[in-house]
Each structure stands twice: as structure tokens, then as C-alpha cells.
């Protein structure tokens, strides 16, 4: 069994990852709200990642940072505080978690960190200025820390297209919007959290020990294809 720290495992993609990993691994979840599931392998810490003192966990094999934001507005409607808040949630929170858990991670024989970006970093999308800027910072972290920690800790990220979660509920707010969103993707669908959890499961496994510094697009063809 591995010791996995998940930040933000009570909702959305984080929840799907937690539910998958807790079956065979010991999972420490850090979030403000309690996960809905109860399991002998799960320990929850009520934590605001940006403000609270983080718990001491002696053994850590994997750190997964899931918190994110979706702020979609024209640039003139975005305040500087919006940019700061998105950067805090997506980058500073991740850095804070990495710095705190890096000492125990370095003791693990197959240590790894998994972060989350967005397809909006690679694909220019209107109204995504704040979140794309923040997630570009995440991708910079992945490549830089992947190099810096190459001998001890693998660092990767997943960049999903829109995923059906509570966070995206204002966008996927009815059947018509869901259909339009599917039509925007060349493969005529968008993501479910369980699909992302599946790729996460591979990237943190021993089977992916050759992979570091990479950002994996899960986009139903949105970035790669023009059809």
C-alpha cells in the first residue's frame, strides 16, 4: 500500500481520485469539507490549504493537488484580485503543499507529485485570461520541479478539458448547454471525473516511473484536432 496525500479530495476530480485510490492505498485527504465516503484507509484533515497549518505526515509516496477554479470573464471584467485569487488557489496552494510534503516524499522509492492544468493553456480561448495565466504557472512548476527533483521525485500534470463537476455546473447548466459542449469537441464528448481519475491512477503508479515533467492533455480532441 502507498501513502497518498490528496489536497482537495472531497469534490469533483479530487473526489473521483480519492474514491479510486482508497481501495488499495492509504489516503490522507486535506480539504475544507469532509469526503462523503468513509473507509478504513482514509484519514481526513479539515484544512484550508492557503491559510491553515498543514499536518505532519511521516510517510508520503504521492502528493496530488486538485484545487482549481473556473473564472470566465472578458478581460475588462476581471479585477486584479481575481487574477491574484486564481493564482493563489492554483499555484501558491500547490507550492505550499509541495514544500511541506517534499521531505517525506524524498524518502519514498517511487515518489511522485501530480498537479492539474487546463486545455486553455495550450488553446487560446476567450474569457479564460485569469485561469489560463494561473494554470500556465502550474505547467511551469511541473517542468521546473521535474528537472530539479529528477533523481528523487517525479512531477507531472493532467490538463483536462471541461469536466462534469460541481465547479463546472454553471457552464453545463442544462441539457442544451451539455449538447453544445459535446459538439465543440471533435470526439463529441467532454470529461467525467472518473476518466481523469483513471489517468491519474496510471501516472502515480510504478508503471509510469519513466515519466516526469510532462503535461497530459485530456481534451476529446479539442487541442489536437481541427475537424
Burial class (CB in 10 A: 0-12, 13-18, 19+), 127: middle
pLDDT of residue 217: 96
pLDDT of residue 171: 85
Tracing cell 527533483 back to the chain, one arrives at: 149
pLDDT of residue 71: 86
Give pLDDT tens digits for 46-64.
999 999 999 999 999 999 9
- Measure the CA–CA gap between 79 and 75, rounded to whole angstroms: 8
> Taking a C-beta distance cutoff of 8 angstroms, is the pair 183, 112 a contact?
no
pLDDT of residue 168: 81
Asked if residue 181 is part of any domain, the answer here is: no
> Taking a C-beta distance cutoff of 8 angstroms, is the pair 139, 93 a contact?
no
Asked if residue 186 is part of any domain, the answer here is: no
pTM recorded for the entire structure = 0.95
Asked if residue 17 is part of any domain, the answer here is: yes
Asked if residue 227 is part of any domain, the answer here is: no
pLDDT of residue 181: 85
Asked if residue 118 is part of any domain, the answer here is: yes
Asked if residue 207 is part of any domain, the answer here is: yes
Give pLDDT tens digits for 118-134.
999 999 999 999 999 99
How many separate domains does the chain show? 1
- CATH number of the domain bearing residue 30: 3.40.50.720
Asked if residue 43 is part of any domain, the answer here is: yes
Asked if residue 88 is part of any domain, the answer here is: yes
pLDDT of residue 132: 96
pLDDT of residue 122: 93
Residue span of the structural domain in which 208 resides: 3-163+192-218
Residues of the chain with pLDDT under 50: none
Nine-digit cell at 175? Answer: 441539457
Amino acid at each position: 500500500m502507498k501513502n497518498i496525500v490528496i489536497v482537495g479530495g472531497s469534490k469533483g476530480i479530487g473526489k473521483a481520485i480519492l474514491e479510486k485510490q482508497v481501495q488499495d492505498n492509504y489516503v490522507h485527504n486535506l480539504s475544507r469539507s469532509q469526503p462523503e465516503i468513509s473507509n478504513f484507509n482514509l484519514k481526513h484533515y479539515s484544512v484550508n490549504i492557503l491559510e491553515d497549518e498543514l499536518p505532519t505526515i511521516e510517510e508520503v509516496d504521492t502528493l496530488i493537488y486538485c484545487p482549481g477554479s473556473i473564472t470566465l470573464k472578458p478581460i475588462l471584467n476581471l479585477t486584479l484580485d481575481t487574477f491574484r485569487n486564481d493564482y493563489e488557489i492554483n499555484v501558491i496552494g500547490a507550492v505550499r503543499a509541495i514544500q511541506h510534503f517534499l521531505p517525506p516524499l524524498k524518502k519514498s522509492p517511487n515518489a511522485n507529485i501530480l498537479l492539474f492544468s487546463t486545455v486553455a493553456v495550450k488553446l487560446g480561448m476567450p474569457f479564460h485570461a485569469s485561469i489560463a495565466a494561473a494554470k500556465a504557472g502550474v505547467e511551469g512548476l511541473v517542468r521546473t520541479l521535474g528537472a530539479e527533483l529528477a533523481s528523487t521525485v517525479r512531477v507531472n500534470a493532467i490538463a483536462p478539458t471541461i469536466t462534469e463537476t460541481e465547479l463546472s455546473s454553471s457552464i453545463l447548466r442544462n441539457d442544451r448547454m451539455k449538447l453544445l459542449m459535446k459538439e465543440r469537441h471533435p470526439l463529441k464528448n467532454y470529461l467525467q471525473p472518473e476518466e481523469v481519475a483513471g489517468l491519474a491512477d496510471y501516472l502515480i503508479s510504478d508503471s509510469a516511473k519513466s515519466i516526469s515533467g510532462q503535461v497530459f492533455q485530456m481534451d476529446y480532441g479539442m487541442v489536437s484536432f481541427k475537424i
